[in-house]
Amino acid sequence: MSDSLRRIDIPTTDPSAGLKVSEIFYSLQGEALTAGLPTIFIRLTGCPLRCVYCDTEYAFVGGERMALEDILASCQAFNCKRICLTGGEPLAQPNAIALMQLLLANGYEISLETAGALSVADVPAAVSKVMDIKTPSSGEADKNLWQNIDYLTSHDHVKFVIMNRADYAWAKQILAQYQLDKKVSTVWFSPMFNVEERQADVPTLATELAEWILADALPVRFQLQLHKIIWADAKGK
């Protein structure tokens, strides 16, 4: 495994070097406000985190180096103008910024799925950031870059993946401390939900989390990942 994929301060490179791409595919968005909408997914290689529940470990390494123009051409092959840039951690490759600028210039609507451990300061304003704040049970809560909250707007989203009651209590405290529900479009609470391919069973935790949110009348939205229910985490879906 390349140490550069786990460093927080990965140096900027020339956009002509392109990006390492794990996969590009067309599916339904499984999360956030655009859930259920046809979307092109660009999954970039590399991530500085190792969350215990990660469901895309295959994107940590490997992939194919592609020029930004070739990535654009791959997207243009689909009859869709909605793109989700994901990973891994897309911002682990600084040229992701140049890619977003290129896609915006070509009329695409973009959402960026980021773990929040790398700065979002340079992400174009037109991009909708979906920032995952890591809870203690992820094993990576110490990597949360809290300054990123300053760059969030009403165009963006925050997500917490909840593994247990302790995570819920922690997330509730962060929600109040940073007044996240007043800062972003939506705050999402999602139960940890890993599945075996083609075997999707909604966990008991989902019911418990729904009850906790109701009991506390939290200003958040409960979320189950749609793609896991439909395709049970099949790669490329």
Tell me, yes or no, whether 126 lies in a domain: yes
Tell me, yes or no, whether 21 lies in a domain: yes
Tell me, yes or no, whether 237 lies in a domain: no
The number of folded domains in the chain is: 1
- CATH number of the domain where residue 227 is located: 3.20.20.70
Distance CA 108, CA 106 (A): 6
Closest CA to 161 of 82, 215, 225, 204: 225
pLDDT score of 12: 47
What pairing do the DSSP bridges indicate for beta strands 82-86 and 64-66? unpaired
DSSP E strands, the chain = 19-28, 38-44, 64-66, 82-86, 109-114, 128-132, 157-162, 186-191, 221-222
pLDDT score of 4: 46
Profile the chain (237 residues) by mean pLDDT over runs of 10 residues.
43 73 92 86 95 90 93 97 96 95 98 96 97 97 97 97 95 98 96 60 80 95 74 56
Tell me, yes or no, whether 153 lies in a domain: yes
Q: Please state the length of the chain.
A: 237
Classify residue 234 by its DSSP letter.
-
Tell me, yes or no, whether 41 lies in a domain: yes
Distance CA 188, CA 219 (A): 9
φ, ψ at 102 (rounded to 5°): -65, -45
**pLDDT tens digit sequence for 32-53:** 788 888 999 999 999 999 999 8
Which residues constitute the domain of residue 149? 3-231
pLDDT score of 229: 63
pLDDT score of 231: 53
φ, ψ at 26 (rounded to 5°): -120, 125
Closest CA to 115 of 132, 97, 127: 132
By the 8 A CB rule, do 94 and 7 touch? no
pLDDT score of 152: 98
Rg for the chain (alpha carbons), in Å? Answer: 17
pLDDT score of 92: 94
Tell me, yes or no, whether 236 lies in a domain: no
The label of the residue with tokens 């786990």 reads 6
Burial class of residue 215, CB neighbours in 10 A (0-12, 13-18, 19+): exposed
